[in-house]
Amino acid sequence: MDFASEFQTLRQVVSASSASADYEYARGWGVFSLPFSSGHILALRVFHDTSFGKPYVSVWHRAPAGTWSILVDGSELETACPRYYGAAVDRVAHARIALRWTGPRDLQVDVDQPALSWTVSIGRAPLLGLLNRRSERLTDNPQPSARTLKAREWIARRLLGMGRDMRLAGPTPNGYESVLLPRQLFFLRASHAVLEGIDLGTPVRLPDNPMLGTVPLPARPAFVVGRVLWRGGVSPAPSALGGSQGQTASVLTPREQEVLALIADGRSNREIATALVIAERTVEAHVAHILAKLGVRSRTQVAVWAFATGLVTARC
């Protein structure tokens, strides 16, 4: 299979399946999870079609100490992966992420900050070829049954060695219910990554699934094509909405409280950046952190939270 050519028409191929109106969705491809011998983990999400924002590319990174970062290129942070997973992440930020196919099954990923040079080579497996043909038919259903999802989880755990805790449906750190619908799955033949001058080592298969908050990732390196559905999302915690200003102020850093006050005043990210004399990208990162910490999905809900807690008072 020539992935470089395939992904030129991926939009039409994957978009043949539509999501239920009850769900937000994203369609695309990426490196599901890639553990390295150094203890680092990388993941890649390339979503060319979403129901909630612009197309974007995202690189996930877990350091050996267990801290997670999500980098985003092409979309606002609050309408990208941090929308669903930001509550379990230590850092979210914008970055320039360049993708280049150097061969039919070889991908080069480059990130400007932090500096990352990452190569991925996709392997071949006859068993996966059979499963992929079956999966393409199953994912034509906008909402597969619970029985179908359970069967596919069993295959992922027992036949494909993706880890005993691997699942395709469940809660995200931000309170959404997610459903992962792989259309095609491939194991990685090789990969090499250098992060800020540090060689991350060789790809490995872990004894346990690495966790991003409540979400288990594959225990072995894998490349996936398909879509993800999300539904719901949490509201601010009762203690946050009903608590005093002193109680709720501790949820946010002082800078995040300043940004929150300006959001409640109706300011745009650009206007907030000007008012606080910081970069617009920095404002976007603060907004994503605020949404994740409060468990809300929009700037309007942030404003409601601010007025409800007394951090901001209405002006007559």
Q: Provide the pLDDT for residue 207.
A: 94
The 3 state secondary structure assigned to 200-248 is CCCECCCCCCCEECCEECCCCCEEEEEEEEEEECCCCCHHHHHCCHHHH
pTM metric for this prediction: 0.73
| Tens digits of residue pLDDT in 28-70 | 999 999 999 999 999 999 999 998 888 999 999 999 999 999 9
Mean pLDDT of 156-178: 89
**pLDDT at residue 241, rounded to an integer:** 39
Each residue of 194-249: pLDDT tens digit? 999 999 999 999 999 999 988 999 999 999 998 999 987 644 443 333 444 444 45
Kindly report, residue by residue over 61-87, the tens digit of the pLDDT.
Answer: 999 999 999 999 988 888 889 888 887
* pLDDT (tens digit per residue) in 294-304: 777 777 777 77
Identify the band that residue 102 occupies on the pLDDT scale cut at 50, 70 and 90.
Answer: very high
pLDDT above 60 (res 19) = no
- Among 200, 218, 296, 289, smallest CA distance to 252 is for 289
SS3 of 65-132: the string is CCCEEEEEECCCHHHCCHHHHHHHCCEEEECCEEEEEEECCEEEEEECCCCEEEEEEECCCHHHHHHH
Q: What's the maximum distance between 2 C-alpha atoms anywhere in the chain? A: 69
Per-residue pLDDT for 9 more than 80? no
What's the pLDDT tens digit per position in 269-294?
889 999 999 988 888 888 888 887 87
Q: What is the set of domains in the chain, with CATH numbers?
A: 3-15+22-231 (2.40.400), 238-309 (1.10.10.10)
pLDDT in tens, 90-101: 888 899 999 999
Q: Would you state the pLDDT for residue 188? A: 94
Are the C-beta atoms of residues 111 and 71 closer than 8 Å to each other? Answer: yes
List Cβ neighbours of 143 (8 Å cut-off, separation of 6 or more): 20, 23, 179, 229
92-95: long-range pairs with CB below 8 Å, 24+: 92/285, 92/288, 92/289, 92/292, 93/69, 93/281, 93/285, 94/281, 94/284, 94/285, 95/59, 95/71
Six-digit token string for 265? 């005043």
Q: Report phi then psi at 261, rounded to 5.
A: -60, -40
CB atoms near residue 24 (< 10 Å): 21
At 33 the three-state DSSP class reads strand
* pLDDT for 243: 42
Do 242 and 304 meet the contact criterion of CB atoms below 8 Å apart?
Answer: no
Q: What pLDDT, on a 0 to 100 scale, did the predictor assign at position 47?
A: 95
